[in-house]
Amino acid sequence: MTAGMSRARRRVRVLGTLAVAASWSVLFVGAAQPAAADTQSKQWHLGAMQAEDMWKVTTGEGIKVAVVDTGVNPSTPSLQGQVLKGVDATGAPGDETDDYEGHGTTMAELIAGTGKGGGLKGLAPGAKIIPLRIALDEFQEEHSSSIQDVADAIRAAADSDAQIISMSFGSRHTTPQDREAIKYAHSKGKLLFASVGNEGHKQNERGYPAAYPQVVGVASADRKGKVSFYSQHAGTVDVASPGSDVPSWCDNSFKSYCDGDGGTSAATAIASASAALVWSLHPDWTANQVLNVLLDTAGRDWEDGVRSKYLGHGLIRPSMNVLKGKGDPGAPDISPLTKEKTTGAAKSSEPSSSKSGSPQPAKNGEAVDKAVAVNESNSSDNGNQLGLILGVAAAVAVLGGVAYAVVRRRKAA
């Protein structure tokens, strides 16, 4: 592969600002509360999603989530005992436990963190994390990382014991290697989630891996159940999940958490944790059935079967199944994304020769949005469960919070 081709590969990840709405920060001024109460109180999505009630039924035990990201630090108080052996696909110094940004560790905590020592508490604290390290942002330029690290990491995740693969990153470009790795993971019965990106207010281009038909594209929603203004909506959204105003580790020193927008990265981690809760409760289900229930029970106030450009099937609500038993799992061998029959587990880690599933309508650009245009442009907040539990339709506007994206080029390996 030429240097020019490799430089064309770009990945976008939200960094966010440290500022939050005044109404948010004023709650903690002079409070002198323990770090745990401070950080976890800012995790508004746990209350909105009825986490405490769900944890009385399941915490995600028995489920493993592969986190393809910047690495995962297993030594943070919230992740001690939660991280299993993983793979470093970068070829750079260190291993999968050396998180060079703090981003992957934040995602892991949002999924399976225990909250100990003042850390973030995951939506599925009973689940376990398998870290897969890839090169993102500045790390791409500082190290001669393999151009195939994403594909290698996804294949390693597919061959692992993980049932769910969480990918909080994105690129404007696709490669045959990445495409085949996604198909391979899908053939192994994995449930794949990826962020749709954070430039919805700018270029708003299709991002990969979220754009692949076998991957669940996750948009970001705010505390009112409205789509975050930066959340991309280029035909790749399948579901929306909390992302605005979600705290994160400030950097790779792991000394403190910062306020700001977790963006579609955090939304993807929380969606992955939602799947872990449902799958833990129904261990005999396939990935197709778990996803079908999540899409079936997603919060929306438009007609079933109609896709929202900004929210896909709607706001993810695992509590509808965990607490109320709702949701039709459907056929175990039919993908709710491609509508095609899945082939089952692959026999080896060689690239799959099977054809990819037909792209779903939501991943083919402009489609089925007129029916929900009015709802999305003016969703109201009734103040009950922050709009998330009630499944209020999303608007493009967001109140408070700012995010921005940084684009980095890959160098030739």
For residue 124, tell me if it sits in a domain: yes
For residue 341, tell me if it sits in a domain: no
> Model pTM?
0.79
d(CA 28, CA 25) in angstroms, rounded, equals: 6
Asked if the peptide bond before residue 77 counts as cis, ω within 30 degrees of 0, the response is no
Average pLDDT (310-329) is 97
Three-class SS state of 146: coil
d(CA 226, CA 241) in angstroms, rounded, equals: 10
For residue 350, tell me if it sits in a domain: no
Do the bridges between strand 248-249 and strand 257-258 make them parallel or antiparallel, or are there none, so unpaired?
A: antiparallel
CATH number assigned to the domain comprising residue 318:
3.40.50.200
Q: What is the pLDDT of residue 361?
A: 38
Q: What is the pLDDT of residue 131?
A: 98
Q: Which amino acid is at 162?
A: A
Q: What is the pLDDT of residue 141?
A: 78
d(CA 236, CA 283) in angstroms, rounded, equals: 28
Active site residue 159: no
Query: Using one digit for the tens of pLDDT, what is the confidence trace for 276-314?
Result: 999 999 999 999 999 999 999 999 988 888 889 999 999
CB neighbours of residue 53 within 10 Å: 11
Q: What is the pLDDT of residue 343?
A: 72
Residue 283 exposed, middle or buried by CB count within 10 Å (0-12, 13-18, 19+)? exposed
For residue 169, tell me if it sits in a domain: yes
d(CA 131, CA 269) in angstroms, rounded, equals: 13
Average pLDDT (168-177) is 93
Return the top range by mean pLDDT from 12-21, 23-32, 91-100. Answer: 91-100
For residue 115, tell me if it sits in a domain: yes
Catalytic residue among 45, 69, 186, 313: 69
Query: Using one digit for the tens of pLDDT, what is the confidence trace for 231-268?
Result: 999 999 999 999 999 999 999 999 999 998 999 999 99
Structural domains in the chain (count): 1
Helix segments in 50-202, DSSP class H: 51-55, 103-112, 138-142, 149-158, 176-187
Active site residue 103: yes
pLDDT, averaged across the chain? 79
> Which conformational region is residue 55 in: left (phi greater than 0), alpha (psi within -120 to 50 degrees), or beta?
alpha
Q: What is the pLDDT of residue 363?
A: 62
Higher-confidence residue of 272 and 402: namely 272
Query: Using one digit for the tens of pLDDT, what is the confidence trace for 57-82?
Result: 999 999 999 999 999 999 999 999 99
Q: What is the pLDDT of residue 164?
A: 98
Is the model's pLDDT at 396 over the cut of 80?
no
Catalytic residue among 78, 168, 241, 265: 265
Confidence of residue 317 (pLDDT cuts 50, 70, 90): very high
Higher-confidence residue of 103 and 145: namely 103
The gap between the terminal CA atoms of the chain, to the nearest Å, is 9
For residue 316, tell me if it sits in a domain: yes
Catalytic residue among 78, 88, 103, 248: 103
For residue 3, tell me if it sits in a domain: no
Is the model's pLDDT at 221 over the cut of 60?
yes
Per DSSP, the chain holds a count of helices (H) and strands (E) of 13, 11
Domain boundaries, position 396: 9-336+357-409
